Amino acid sequence: MNLSFGVKVLVVITCILFSALVGVGGGWLSHKPGGYKRDAVLVGGGTFGGTLTLVLLVLATLGVL
């Protein structure tokens, strides 16, 4: 695809927002009552990083980025 630079930036920002939502959901689902919040934050951060990497790699492979 031959997209302009502005459209590519919007796609990356959308990927970051989507990954942040998935990361928040992963951290929220991993939190246990009475447990440490730092464990949920670590899981959420790992989920965010993994999701962002996967989404950007798929879009780069498809030729969008």
Taking only the tens place, the pLDDT of each residue in 21-57 is: 999 999 999 999 998 999 999 999 999 999 999 999 9
From residue 17, give the alpha-carbon distance in Å to each of 13, 26, 35, 50, 61.
6, 14, 27, 13, 20
Residue 1 has pLDDT above 80, yes or no: no
Residue 2 has pLDDT above 80, yes or no: yes
Other CB atoms within 10 Å distance of the CB of residue 21? 12
What ranges do the domains of the chain cover?
5-62
Q: Scan for tokens 């502005």, then name that residue.
A: 6
DSSP state of 31: -
Residue 3 has pLDDT above 80, yes or no: yes
What is residue 25's predicted lDDT score, i.e. its pLDDT?
97
What is residue 28's predicted lDDT score, i.e. its pLDDT?
95
Q: What are the residues whose beta carbons fall under 8 Å from the beta carbon of 47, sequence distance 6 or more?
A: 22, 23, 25, 26, 27
